[in-house]
Amino acid sequence: MALRFDGKVAIVTGAGGGLGKTYALELAKRGCKVVVNDLGGDRHGTSSSTSMADKVVQEIKAAGGQAVANYDSVEYGDKIVKTAIDNFGRIDIVINNAGILRDVSFVKMTELDWDLIFKVHVKGAYAVTKAAWPYMRDQKYGRIVVTSSNAGVHGNFGQVNYAAAKSALIGFANALAQEGAKYNILANTLVPTAGSRLTETVMPQNLVDALKPDYVTPLVTYMVHDSFEDSGKVFEAGAGWYGTLQYYKSKGKVISNATADDLAKNWSTITDMNGAEFIGTITEQSARLVSILEEHESSSASSGSSSSGGAFP
Ligand code: NAI
């Protein structure tokens, strides 16, 4: 059965082209009312026009769907959410997709390169989500997606600014997921790879042509549907591959009163990923540390020394 979005209202930021356009078209095709936000600027975030969003709205309407354009920069999230409320009366789905690149080696990076990237990716996702959040809490329903990148996960040469911003978004969504849980607000991170205006400067043309944005669209569509249940997770799509990324911790080694020399001696054991454990939440992580502390205390007690001896400073 097709996943439908009748009665739902979505904001897709940066939906005038590239990946965002495909999300807007697909959601509208499935019955969703869509706010098509796009500043209509260049890929470096330094200009604006209304035509990009307008064209997508026209395409949605021509196909019988419902959509409205918004031309504000994502840092004015309240105006974008107001467009949803004024036109459709509610907001259920926020897809934080708008993005720019200002690739430059760290030695040549200016404060403007850093600030613009953070303004669009991080402040933008914050501002739109923040304005939508009270509506989602009140109605006890929300689906939020933020867009990270493999650069945010692995880092990338010439993208210190972009990698840092994309990494910040993962923490943003993971924390939102915890605050949204009791209000049925799910927040997840997308890591896409696709040929677009943004990537044509860094990918060879044959790859830009082959990595169709439409390969990413089904994942985002499912991530914002009623039936989706995961939250605080990272999902990835590109080239027709779909998967997830998770954090694992090495078994490591407990060393009482360790010195730097002890760590140097044991480094291969500390960093050995054989038998690494999946840590799903910060609660699990805290429980893990508490149990190590308890082990310490019981071994100190059996050896006659006191736990206040500072095994865990
Ligand atoms: P794109 O350049 O085709 O689309 C981005 C859109 O965001 C543009 O239409 C642009 O006008 C709009 N935009 C830029 N600044 C804005 C602002 N301040 N307010 C509102 N709209 C704004 O790029 P693409 O590839 O579709 O990227 C979409 C998202 O996916 C971005 O966040 C990007 O960083 C991310 N991404 C893309 C990857 C790829 O392989 N294409 C890889 C990893 C992440």
> What separation in Å is there between the alpha carbon of 253 and the centre of ligand 1?
43
With residue 187 as reference, give the H or E element that holds it. strand 185-192
My answer on whether 234 and 256 are in the same domain is: no
In a domain, residue 139? The reply is: yes
Instruction: Report which residue type is found at 159.
Output: Q
Token pair, residue 298, equals: 């019981």
Full domain range(s) for residue 295: 249-309
Q: Which amino acid is at 111?
A: E
- Going by alpha carbons, the residue nearest to atom 34 of ligand 1 is 99
pLDDT of residue 303: 58
* 271: CATH: 1.10.287
Residues 229, 293 within the same domain: no
Distance of CA 288 to the CA centre of its chain: 26
Position 66 in a domain: yes
pLDDT of 312: 34
Q: Are residues 137 and 283 in the same domain?
A: no
Question: 75-95 pLDDT, tens per residue?
Answer: 999 999 999 999 999 999 999
> Domain check: are 94 and 185 in the same one?
yes
* CB-based contact 53:36 (threshold 8 Å): yes
Query: Do 97 and 175 fall within a single domain?
Result: yes
CA of 136 to the centre of ligand 1 (A): 25
Which of 63, 71, 70 has the alpha carbon at shortest distance from 26? 63
* Cα distance between residue 215 and residue 219, in whole Å: 8
Catalytic residue positions, numbered: 162
Q: Whose CA is nearest to atom 4 of ligand 1?
A: 18
Among 199, 217, 245, which residue terminates a domain? 245
Distances (CA, A) of 203 to 52, 87, 232, 237: 23, 39, 30, 17
State ipTM.
0.99
Residue list, ligand 1 pocket, CB within 6 Å: 13-14, 16-20, 37-41, 43, 45, 52, 73-74, 97-100, 120, 124, 147, 149, 192-194, 196-199
239 and 173 in a common domain:
yes
Give the helix/strand (H/E) hosting 262: helix 260-270
Give the CATH number, domain containing residue 146. 3.40.50.720
pLDDT of 258 reads 96
**Number of domains forming the structure of the chain:** 2
Domain limit, last residue, from 223, 245, 267: 245
Tell me which amino acid residue 4 is.
R
Give the β-pairing of 248-249 and 277-278. antiparallel
Note whether residue 174 is domain-resident. Answer: yes
Q: Do 298 and 230 fall within a single domain? A: no
Report residue 91 as tokens. Answer: 């907001």
Same-domain pairing of 152 and 129 = yes
pLDDT at 228: 98
How do the pLDDT tens digits run along the chain, 313 residues long?
A: 799 999 999 999 999 999 999 999 999 999 999 999 999 988 887 778 889 999 999 999 999 999 999 999 999 999 999 999 999 999 999 999 999 999 999 999 999 999 999 999 999 999 999 999 999 999 999 999 999 999 999 999 999 999 999 999 999 999 999 999 999 999 999 999 999 998 998 889 999 999 999 999 999 999 999 999 999 999 999 999 999 999 999 999 999 999 999 999 999 999 999 999 999 889 999 998 998 888 877 776 765 544 333 333 3
Helix axes 18-29, 51-62, angle to 10 degrees: 30
Distance 34 CA to ligand 1 centre (A): 17
- Which residue is it, tokens 């019955």? 31
Is the same domain home to 40 and 166? yes
Instruction: Name the residue of 196, 211, 215 to mutate for ligand 1: max ligand atoms within 8 A of Cβ.
Output: 196
Task: Tell me, yes or no, whether 167 and 235 share the same domain.
Answer: yes
- Whether residue 211 is contained in a domain is answered as yes
69 and 204 belong to one structural domain: yes
- If asked whether residues 29 and 145 sit together in one domain, one would say yes
CA-nearest residue, atom 31 of ligand 1: 99
